[in-house]
Structure 1
Amino acid sequence: MLPSLVLFTGHAAVTSAFSGFRQELLATIIPRDLTPTILPIVGGPSSAPEHSIRSDARRRPARTGEELMTSHRVRIGLLVPSSNTIMEQDIIRGVGPQATLHTARMHMTEATRAAENAMLDRYLPQAIADIASARPHITIFGCTSASALRGEEYDKELCSLISEQTGGVTISTIAAVNDAIAASAASRVAILTPYGEELNVKIRESIAATGVEVIAIEGMGITENFDCSVPAPEEITERGAELVDRSSADLLFISCTNFQALDAVASIERTAGVPVITSNSAVLRAVNEAINNVAAAALHESTTK
């Protein structure tokens, strides 16, 4: 049975990530009375071809400033596992009205290596083609463990391919996480995840590869990806604070884009006294920076013609 088309409108009040010149810059090209909208592009097992990622790759010209000036808002594409019910909400409330979110879903129901490999090989190519048709200025690959699964070089190649097909900037979740940890200057990191050990190993390897000491990693052992969304922020807070206390970490990273971790950040930071980075907070940091850059480039292009 085909899934229903769902339109969601509305947004929470957000604090702008821009200040001074950048805030004024965005105000000139992005109307503030507009409401962000999810326009899902639904893909699934019935339509996903079994082919390599590059088999149908077509290079699309880069997004232009003129196009952005015409559309008024930055288009964000999101490639996300089909069973993820959290990330879209977090992105919408984190970017506010300066952008619209457009989602292509990659079939995946289990939080296991086998399921993630199948998602990358069988369902990702069609999802990239689908999201490219929405002509996003920015595209997010929205799965932390799948970003880490095949190593840094594969992740870089994947992001390059997505950018070729969409003509825009691509943000990898694991790369955004590593950038956020590097910016914090933390040296001793503890990691909390909803996953089992087989995915935790790859997360640890990806974080440690940057030179950061991973002093502890704890997973909840969840293997159904939908169920990663179930633990409440209160449970995540309790487990995160306990992990920091046991490990004496100077930063806590909470992995998974389908985890209610963003709502636990403030309470963990108050309780544990260390900064907390989540997969979705790291992505939002990268997305808001990219929005800023896209808007600045558009304004520059429009004023130099």
Structure 2
Amino acid sequence: MDVSFLGGPKPQRGVGVVAPFDFALDRELWRWVPDHVSLHLTRTPFVPVEVGLDLARLVSEHETLGEAVRALGATGPEVLAYACASGSFVGGLAGERALCAAMRRAGELPAVTTSGALLQALSELGARRVALVTPYTRSVTESLEEYLSEAGITVTGRAFLGLTRHIWKVPYRDVAEMAREAGRSGADALFISCTNLPTYDVIPQLEAELRVPVISANQVTMWAALARLGTRAVGPYQALLDPAARVWPPADVPEALPPEDLPRERSKEQEGWA
């Protein structure tokens, strides 16, 4: 059968993604990506260390990132993304900038990190007061707070799980419960950290409930990387991706009754008074 009329596959544009060795949410990243863009993923080498500050430092070593970026070069990406929150905030603002510089040197391409994308997203949303949800231990969560404080962002509330492994198995229910706990703090936005924590489907629900933008590690990473390509991340009812979704309707109030149904003032005689 002649299929020449199909014309072959459409041209694709590529995002090269470096993720930690234990990253398990490839399918979640793809959900933010439009059809004409492909993700090319590679992982850092395995190290027998539990999730914590030591692991964050190990998976963000410049030599390790450089090797991963050079491996991605064969796929011809147009932008590079380091998809790891803790690995990109553990060194503070200077450490994040150094990671981007190391990736640019190795790949000669624009580069973004999850934590750098977080600050860009907060700026886009005009948020200066942020509530945090993390699966991390206390020490890693505090490192994220220090990173945000260095950037002039105030953390108004936080909730964390204290996990050191298998973060990708956390159900949406637990994420939502933490968000409700942390979100009662008068924040401008809520950030759900860790690229290994599932968030895609829970974001619109939490935004409707908390009435503030809810952003996540994977979401901001894809949003920032795709912006470098001059294209947009896709995702229904997510405030970061759609300015129209940043306007919440008024809080629920009783619907006004028509005049004929309004209660009328009753006289003393009607009330049965003497």
What TM-score do you get using the length of structure 1 for normalisation?
A: 0.68
Change (3 A) 1:32 1:288: farther
Whether the 8 Å contact between 2:19 and 2:84 is mirrored in structure 1 is yes
Structure 2 match to 1:271: 209
Contact 1:137–1:167, Cα closer than 8 Å, also in 2: no
Q: 1:32 to 1:85 in 2, by over 3 A?
A: farther
Give the SS at the match of 2:170. Answer: coil
Residue pair 2:92, 2:150 contacting (<8 A) in 1 also: no
Deviation at 1:220, TM superposition (A): 0.5
What per-residue deviation string (whole Å, max 9, x for no partner) do you get for residues 34-82 of structure 1? 5xxxxxxxxxxxxxxxxxxxxxxxxxxxxxxxxxxxxx22111110011
Please state if 1:235 is matched with 2:177. Answer: no
* Unmatched segments (≥5 aa) in structure 1: 1-30, 35-71, 294-305
1-structure distance, mates of 2:197, 2:9: 30
C-alpha separation in 2, matches of 1:164 and 1:124: 11
Q: How many residues end up aligned between the 2 structures?
A: 223
Identity %: 23
Measured after TM superposition, the shift of residue 32 of structure 1 is 11
Aligned-residue offset at 1:33: 6.7
Q: 2:12: which partner in 1?
A: 73
1:110 equivalent among 35, 40, 50: 50
**Alignment match, 1:255:** 193
Question: Pairwise CA RMSD of aligned residues?
Answer: 2.2
Q: How does 1:291-302 map to 2 (within 5 A)?
A: 291-292=229-230
Q: Deviations over 1:66-108 (max 9, x none)?
A: xxxxxx221111100111111x222212112211111110135
Match of 2:129 in 1: 188
Q: TM-score, normalised by structure 2?
A: 0.75
Give the 5 Å matches for 1:190-229: 190-224=131-165, 227-229=166-168
- Secondary structure of 2:80's match? strand
Q: Who is 1:158 aligned against? A: 99
Name which of 273, 277, 281 aligns with 2:219: 281
Find the aligned partners of 2:120 and 2:69 in 1 and give their Cα distance: 24
1:137 and 2:75 aligned: no
For structure 2, the 5+ residue unaligned runs are: 1-6, 232-274
- Which whole-Å CA distance do the structure 2 matches of 1:254 and 1:273 have between them? 15
Q: Report matched runs for 1:24-103 at 5 Å.
A: 72-86=11-25, 88-103=26-41
